[in-house]
């Protein structure tokens, strides 16, 4: 669902923007999800991302997901 989708975007953003990924994820939530996740749901995604160890293969998969999303916009 939407939580998993935002989580996947968060994996990419965390790797690409290690200092500001949380702010970028919040911007993405507000701009692209209709309706945006509620604050409690968003916090759950953030907490899950804080615990997630990123691997190169995960980042590559999530870069591909973002590319596909951009093609559909």
pLDDT at 13 over 70: yes
Instruction: Please report, rounded to a whole number, the percentage of residues in the chain having pLDDT higher than 90.
Output: 48
Cβ burial, residue 47 (10 Å; 0-12/13-18/19+):
exposed
pLDDT at 21 over 90: yes
Residue 50: predicted pLDDT: 82
pTM over 0.75: no
């Amino acid at each position: 669902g939407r939580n998993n989708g935002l989580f996947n975007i968060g994996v990419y953003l965390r790797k690409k923007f290690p200092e500001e990924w949380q702010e970028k994820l919040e911007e993405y939530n507000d701009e692209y999800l209709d309706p945006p996740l509620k604050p409690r749901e968003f916090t759950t995604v953030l907490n899950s991302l804080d615990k997630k160890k990123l691997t190169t293969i995960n980042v590559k998969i999530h870069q591909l997901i973002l590319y596909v999303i951009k093609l559909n916009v």
